[in-house]
């Protein structure tokens, strides 16, 4: 990925599928996010187990198969275990198995990057879903916040893009104030320079 695509943009692009389809409310956003975290952990465990046994090409085929299988398994299991959340789990839930964020930095020794990515993604999901629920429905977790919804279009996937853009700009401004984005970009540029030297 080009250097101009910083950490935040990478996470938004890699997690765009759940950002579009599961952020109409805070509860479905949290269900999708924690499911994605679980699938990511299983995929990384599969990577560690098969690292010395398969070539890279075969291993990535296996990891995609694991991710898709686990998302399908959870899609069937979760409504049975927790009937209260069955209304929040749609066919879109199966897209978690093909979400690029699940496989990002999926290498042994990349656990710090993994947790950084997940924490940032969780923050984005909470911010986007809360804004869509409040502005689009006037509610948050069933509590009335606004008398009337401001923009009902935000309940549609197309409306989610507006909030994702606003949230991305907001988080980027905060990170720049804290110099977090700068440090992350420096690390990425160093990594790219190291690759160039090695090649």
Q: Per residue of the chain (199 residues), give pLDDT as tens.
A: 444 447 777 887 888 888 877 777 888 889 999 999 999 999 888 888 887 777 777 878 888 888 899 999 999 998 888 888 888 888 888 888 888 888 887 776 678 888 888 888 888 888 888 888 887 777 777 667 767 766 666 677 777 777 777 777 777 777 777 665 555 544 544 454 455 555 4
Q: What are the helix and strand counts (H, E) for the chain?
A: 8, 2
- In a domain? residue 2: no
**Residue 17 burial (10 A CB sphere; 0-12, 13-18, 19+):** middle
Which residues have C-beta within 8 Å of that of residue 184, sequence separation ≥ 6?
A: 6, 7, 175
- In a domain? residue 184: yes
Q: Record the pTM.
A: 0.75
Phi-psi region of 159 (alpha: psi -120 to 50; beta: other; left: phi over 0): alpha
- Residue pair 181/172 in contact (Cβ under 8 Å)? The answer is yes
Query: What's the CA gap between 151 and 149, in Å, rounded?
Result: 6
Q: Tell me the residue range of the domain where 32 lies.
A: 7-198
**Domains identified in the chain, total number:** 1
Strands 143-144 and 139-140: antiparallel
Query: What's the CA gap between 99 and 68, in Å, rounded?
Result: 9
- In a domain? residue 1: no
């Amino acid at each position: 990925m080009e250097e101009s695509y910083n950490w935040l943009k990478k996470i938004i692009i890699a997690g765009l599928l759940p950002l579009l389809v599961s952020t109409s409310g805070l509860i479905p956003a949290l269900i999708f996010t924690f499911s994605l975290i679980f699938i990511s952990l299983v995929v990384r465990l599969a990577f560690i187990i098969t690292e010395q046994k398969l070539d890279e090409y075969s291993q990535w085929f296996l990891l995609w198969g694991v991710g898709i299988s686990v998302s399908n398994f959870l899609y069937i299991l979760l409504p049975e275990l927790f009937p209260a959340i069955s209304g929040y789990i749609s066919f879109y839930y199966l897209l978690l198995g093909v979400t690029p964020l699940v496989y990002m930095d999926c290498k042994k020794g990349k656990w710090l990057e993994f947790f950084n990515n997940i924490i940032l993604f969780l923050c984005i999901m909470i911010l986007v879903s809360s804004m869509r629920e409040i502005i689009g429905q006037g509610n948050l977790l069933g509590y009335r916040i606004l008398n009337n919804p401001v923009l009902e279009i935000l309940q549609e996937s197309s409306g989610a893009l507006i909030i994702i853009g606003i949230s991305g700009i907001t988080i980027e401004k905060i990170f720049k104030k804290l110099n977090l984005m700068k440090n992350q970009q420096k690390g990425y540029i160093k990594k790219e320079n190291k690759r160039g030297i090695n090649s």
